[in-house]
Amino acid sequence: MDAITVIRAKRDRAELTDEQIDWILAAYTDGRVAEEQMAALAMAILLNGMNRREIAHWTQAMIASGERMDFSALTRPTVDKHSTGGVGDKITLPLAPLVAACGAAVPQLSGRGLGHTGGTLDKLESIPGWRARLSNAEMLAVLADAGAVVCAAGDGLAPADRKLYALRDVTGTVESIPLIASSIMSKKIAEGTSALVLDVKCGSGAFMKDFADARELAETMVALGTDHGVATTALITAMDNPLGRTAGNALEVRESVEVLSGGGPDDVRELTLALAREMLAAAGLDGADPADKLADGSALDSWKRMIRAQGGDPDAELPVAKQTHVVTAERAGVLVGMDSFKVGVAAWRLGAGRARKEDAVQAGAGVQWHAVVGDTVKAGQPLFTLHTDTPETFDTALESLAGACEFADEGTEFTRPPLVLDRVAASNR
């Protein structure tokens, strides 16, 4: 077996054999296949695709490259959620403790932001003392104590994927549906959860810009989960407009606590409850109503236990940016669109995100918007507030926001688009 033969096979649109897939991933993980050779194969996969058998075996080979976690000692049913990434997508923060308050165990392995999309770990690290890195034993202890844990994946979990993801990020091959699906699902299956709910974003601020691609990705991941014995469903959700009212790290933590306290933006609350109900049904706990747990304070108590169990102080003051800049509306009208991608890039340039994995982020940086789609805005009214410790970034952030908002004339009737676009389950693929 050699790398060039495998590359040529996929370049020429051939179906890779199980043996070829096993060999190439094992050889790449231990350094026998060069980075440029794997980059060539990744590009061939992006251009020519994979069938269901190839994707399933590619996923299995990445799982086999590392360890598998075991939550069988827990007394609660386990269920996890994964989002494909968006702008203002803080849903994991209120969702994990909410589902835990309803009786499930939520082992949430999350990642960091890159480019215009925010990272859950970056957001939580704005809480003083909170730790993202936990051993497997510590993760189990937090789950037993708080019912939910949000942490970084350990080095032993799907190491082939960790190495390949870093390569895809710098070779223009991130958008390949077979590689996205296998990357996400190899980690989630190796994590050992019994059930999984996927939030597949669709729109300007998502990796999948159009519905057909989002649907294909959702169906592919649901099939992978089902084939590996994990009860898997997916919601396809809109990401043309950013979620909530903030994109940043500490800014989004504050907004999440508002939701856990029974308030917060309508769209964040709506999506949190929709995903919570989906997760509880997957875990066999569909008799619980998560809205009740927001109203009675149980979800907020669960959040505080989770944060404390990971070394954080849920009552501490969150970081605040040193400088702010207010952007006002140039005209009056009805706000009918806010480009998620532009808002995400602005937050990134202010310091809330990173261009490379090793870059640091600012806890207090980000963008806050004072109107959402459907609102009537007056000329001169505050539209955005930019937050940063580095005011020299204001100009480039403002460039990113140019044309982000679309207005219609005052009095125009406007119906907000739906947040949940579709549901994909094993029975309706």
Catalytic residue among 10, 57, 81, 82: 82
From 83, 110, 183, 204, active-site residue:
183
Q: Which residue has the tokens 């109203």?
A: 295
Catalytic residue among 22, 89, 161, 240: 161
Catalytic residue among 112, 116, 163, 187: 187
What SS3 state is found at 125? coil
Residue among 235, 314, 241 at smallest CA distance from 276 = 235
82 is catalytic: yes
d(CA 196, CA 106): 10
Tell me whether residue 168 is one of the annotated catalytic residues: yes
Residue 278: C-alpha distances to residues 102, 196, 250, 425 (Å): 12, 9, 27, 11
- Helix ranges restricted to H, 177-265: 177-191, 211-227, 250-260
90, 162, 168, 277: the active-site residue: 168
How far is 367 from 267, CA to CA, in rounded Å? 17
Residues near 225 by beta carbon (within 8 Å), at least 6 away in sequence: 185, 188, 189, 196, 231, 232
Phi-psi region of 238 (alpha: psi -120 to 50; beta: other; left: phi over 0): beta
Active site residue 161: yes
Residue 168 near residue 42 (C-beta atoms within 8 A): yes
* CB hemisphere CA count around 354 (13 angstroms): 18
47, 52, 57, 63 alpha-carbon torsion, rounded to 10°? 90
Mind telling me the catalytic residues? 82, 161, 168, 183, 187
